[in-house]
Structure formats: C-alpha cells, structure tokens
Homo-oligomer: A and B are copies of this chain.
Amino acid sequence: MAFPKVSRANLERHLPILQWSKSYDRDALTSDVVAAVIVTIMLIPQSLAYALLAGLPAEMGLYASILPLVAYAIFGTSRALAVGPVAVISLMTAAAVGNLALQGTAEYAAAAITLAFMSGVILTVMGLFRLGFLANFLSHPVIAGFITASGVLIATSQLKHILGVDAHGHNLYELVRSLDAHIQETNMITLLIGVTSVAFLFWVRKGLKPLLLATGLPPRLADILAKAGPVVAVAATTIAVWLFDLEAKGVRIVGEVPMGLPPLSLPSFSGEIWSSLFVSALLISVIGFVESVSVAQTLAAKKRQRIVPDQELVGLGTSNIAAALSGGYPVTGGFARSVVNFDAGAETPAAGAYTAIGIAFAALLLTPLLFFLPKATLAATIIVAVLSLVDFSILTKTWSYSKVDFSAVAATIFLTLGFGVEVGVSAGVLLSLGLFLYKTSRPHVAEVGQVPGTQHFRNILRHNVETHPSLVTLRIDESLYFANARFLEDYLLERVVCDEPIENVVLMCSAVNEIDMSALESLEEINKRLQDMGIALHLSEVKGPVMDRLERSHFLEELSGRVFLSQYDAMIALTPKEQEAAAV
C-alpha cells in the first residue's frame, strides 16, 4: 500500500490549527475565553445591524457569526482576526443581491447565501493557486477612497431607520432623493430613539473612557466597558419599546427572530444566478480579502507574528463556504472587532471559536429578547461604526503627493457615491492600472552629464554637469516595452536632428529593467536610422537580466556602437582626449 506521503510541515501549512494547538495551554485558554466573551458582547448587536444593512433577516447576521468563525479558527493564520459580517461587505451584498430579487423575499436570502458560497469558492481557489498577489493590484488610495465613500453611503442608507421611513437606493443621489420624498412621514418617536442612540454611542466612544478612568478603573477594563456601549443602547431602547408599547406608535422593531442554531442551507447552483452574481462575488472576495489581510497584518506586526496571505485566502474562503452552508451571508475579518479581540488579549484563533459558541448561545436563548429591539437603534450602531471609516483626508494627502493617485481616489469616491459600490471600486482599480500603464507609456527621459569630480552622471537640467557636444547620453527612466517602444523611437530621432556635431548616442540603461520584443525591434530600428545618419548607438549600465536576453538576439551583432559596463567607461571611451583630461 502506498499512501501519498504528507509531511507534517506541509499539513501544518494548510491547517494552521495543528501548529498553534501544539502549545495550547491553560494560560492561552483563559486569555482566549476572556477575549471571546468581550467580542461576543460586541458582535451580537453588530451581527443584527449588518444583516439589516444587507437587507436580510436579523438572524442571518447571527448565523454568519457562528460556523464561519470556527472555519477561520481551523484554516486562518492570524491570531487576532475576528471574522463575521462587516459593513462594507454587507452593503456590497445588498447591491449585488438587489439586482436579482426583492428585499424580504426568500429568493433574496437564497441569493445572499449563494453569493457567500461563490465568494468562498473564489477565495479558496485563489488561496490554493497562491493568487494572493492579485490583491496588490488594489492601490492603497483606491481602497481608502472606496471605504470612505462606502461609509458615507452606508450612513445615508441608515437614515431611513432613524427617521422611521421607507427609502432605498444604491447610490447617494437615489438615497437622498428617496429620503427627501418620505421625510414628511418621519416618526417622531423613532427619530428620538435614533438620535438619542447616535448621541449616546458617540459619547460612549469619545467621552466614557476618560470618565471611567477618572473614577479609578484600570484602563483595560475601562476600554472594554466602553465597547459595551451598543449592548447598553440595545437593551435600553428594547426595554423602552416594550414598556411604553412604542410599536403601536409606529416604531419599527426587529420582531420575531427564530430561536435555535443555524439551519443547514445550500447555495443555488443555477447557472443563470452564478453568472449574474459572478462579478459581485469576485469584488466582494477581493475587497473582503484586502481589508481583512491588512487588519491581520497590522495586528500581527505588533506581536512580531507573521500571517500567510495565501493561507488567509483559504481561511476566509472556508469561512464563507461555512456561512453559505449555515444560513449566513458573506463574511470577512472586521477591523473594529479584531482590534477589540487583540486588545482583550486573544492569543490564538481559538478565541474565534469561543466567540462562535457565545453567539450560538445567543441564537439559542436570547432571540426572544430581541423582539422589541427598534431598528433605529441598530441603524445608530451602524452609523457610529461606519463614520469612523470616513476619512476624506486621503484626497488632500494624494493631492499634494501625486495627481495621478489623486485622480484615482477622486474617481473612486465620486463613482462609488454616484453609481454604487460595484461601479466605484471596479472603476478605481481599472483607472489606477490604466494610469500606471499610461505613465509607463510616456517615460521620463533625461539627458545626463558627468557630475564634476565624480564618476556619477545626472540630469543636465537639474545638476551642474559636464557634457561634450559630440556625445549625447540619454537616461531612459522606464523599462522598455511595447507601450513605450514607439515613444522612445520618436523621442530619440527628434533629439538627434539638430545642429550639434553628434557622433555618439549612449542610452544609459540603469533604469531599464526589461526590454521586450517590441522594444527590441524599436532599438534595431533606432540603430539602423542613426547609422544612416552617421551616428553610433551605444548602451551603458545594462542590467544583468536585460543583457542576458539581448545576448540571445541578433541586436548586439548589429549594434553600431558598444555596450559599456558603466556610463563613466562610456564617457572615457567616447570623448576626445582633452575633454577626458578635464573631466577626470
């Protein structure tokens, strides 16, 4: 019998739980349980609220916070990441599923489950094929702009619950117009509950902790108590609705939440649904992964731990598949709750599994208590949470640093607000790639001369350097490839048509990291044309990998000039003696 040999190290790589569980002891257990209790208290209202944001029944938020956490504990590599429903992904789910079905229908919930499954499969496959690097093509500014705009959209979308009216829309214009149309129907008691909750939660966030510290509480406890704010708001407003029978006065409540553990659910396998959700699933996967991995990396760095991005993909992928199989919807690692988990002392991913047990208890026992919970309170927790994500300073930062980055960010924000999340983030990615390609297609070319007394060569326009009229040295500040091959041809031939007695042209290739086939053909063309004009073409400072490749072509045989190791060698060889004497 010959089983394929599976090494322990290989197994541990794919199942990180085998690694950390070896040294799991009573200390780690205590830390993890404490962190789990705190995260559970924070996660219950969040799960309900984000399900509401996604347009799903409240219990789906709880279900998405049970099995997915267990899956991540087995397959994930971050020791502090807390997985579950998050604001931006919930909004993206609503946008994606809203195209297929009406909110409140069984089809809508089924589509959300399918979306979680597809996203899970995409993430897992990306992880197994080590495609984590694809996430690098989302630039930081584009993500920052996207998150900010999403925060604005989310906060605006929740105003309807604060006002107690019906309104909907996938972009800022639709939302504002819809709110405007219904604003006369505002329910004053709902508004009171909503505004009070928002004010209370902001105060908890900013003012409570200093107060608690002033009473002599230890900082960590003060911190944790401050995080329980949403639970207090939920409890207080629920009791108020129940006591004063506010439902009869038009306050909308969560209503009956089924009691019990998550049901087994299966995604749809309809080809039509899959093809219409595919792009959305891809965007949700990539955005979720990027967000999650950057949180995980920030927290890991604080303890000098490492996370493995490709394994993170598998961790998040299996979490989403678990969500799909247990009545949930797309999940990822959340920023706020991961920080809380970390601060509360979570030592291993087991903390996530314990949190899952806490939420499971809530789903089993606490749901009847949620009947009178006003939707306005949940909306308030969302608004306060997402406004901390809104940060328009990325606009001023990029404006002063780079107009290209600025335009990518500005377009992302504008398009997300104006046309919804999917258009916004897709456009942001395509635009930033397009701008990068555009830049590389018109490279910076500097004419250089020798910095006196050194062997160093710099731009003649920026530095006081020595040159010789018969020698033109151009430093090309870009790899040469198809998109800029013709540009170089035009630039160079234009440069040599002048009155100077040019005999030699040197292309200084210190910044040329690649010469592709198209560029090689352009160089051959340049060489031929210069030769016709009686000018020799030389190269200098060609890098190893580039030189290897040139040696495999016929270019070096045809080259009218030489290839010099350094620009200094080129200058020595190509300038008349008296010039050389002056320069050295």
Q: Which residues of A pack against B, CB within 8 Å? A: 133, 136-142, 301, 397-398, 400-402, 404-405, 432-433, 436-437, 439-444, 446, 451, 454-456, 458-459, 462, 477-479, 481-487, 510-514, 516-518, 520-521, 529, 543-545, 549, 552-553, 565-566, 568
| Residue from B433, B517, B544 in contact with A139 in the complex, judged by beta carbons closer than 8 Å | B517
A543–B520 Cα gap in the complex (Å)? 25
A520–B141 Cα gap in the complex (Å)? 11
A484 contact set on B, CB distance < 8 A: 136
A401 touches B520 (CB 8 A): yes
Taken together, the copies of this chain in the complex come to 2
B511 touches A133 (CB 8 A): no
| Residue from B437, B511, B566 in contact with A137 in the complex, judged by beta carbons closer than 8 Å | B437
| Residue from B138, B397, B568 in contact with A482 in the complex, judged by beta carbons closer than 8 Å | B138
A182–B436 Cα gap in the complex (Å)? 52
B454 touches A568 (CB 8 A): yes
A136–B520 Cα gap in the complex (Å)? 14
A486 contact set on B, CB distance < 8 A: 136
A401–B521 Cα gap in the complex (Å)? 12
B402 touches A549 (CB 8 A): yes
B517 touches A441 (CB 8 A): no
B137 touches A483 (CB 8 A): yes
| Residue from B398, B443, B549 in contact with A401 in the complex, judged by beta carbons closer than 8 Å | B549
B477 touches A543 (CB 8 A): yes
A482 contact set on B, CB distance < 8 A: 136-142, 432, 436
B451 touches A483 (CB 8 A): no
A80–B33 Cα gap in the complex (Å)? 82
Please indicate which of the listed interface residues A133, A141, A511 has the most CB atoms of chain B within 10 Å of its own CB: A511
Give 26 A-B contacts (CB < 8 Å), ordered by A residue.
A133-B442, A133-B487, A136-B483, A136-B484, A136-B486, A137-B437, A139-B481, A139-B483, A139-B516, A139-B517, A140-B482, A140-B485, A140-B517, A140-B521, A401-B517, A401-B553, A402-B549, A433-B437, A446-B543, A451-B565, A451-B566, A454-B566, A455-B456, A458-B544, A458-B565, A459-B543
A553–B398 Cα gap in the complex (Å)? 10
B517 touches A397 (CB 8 A): yes
Apart from A140-B521, A401-B553: 18 A-B pairs, beta carbons within 8 A = A136-B441, A139-B481, A139-B516, A139-B518, A140-B482, A140-B518, A141-B482, A141-B517, A436-B437, A436-B516, A454-B566, A456-B565, A458-B544, A459-B544, A477-B513, A510-B510, A511-B512, A511-B543
Measured between C-beta atoms, what is the minimum distance from A130 to chain B in Å?
12
**CB-nearest residue of chain B to A298:** B525
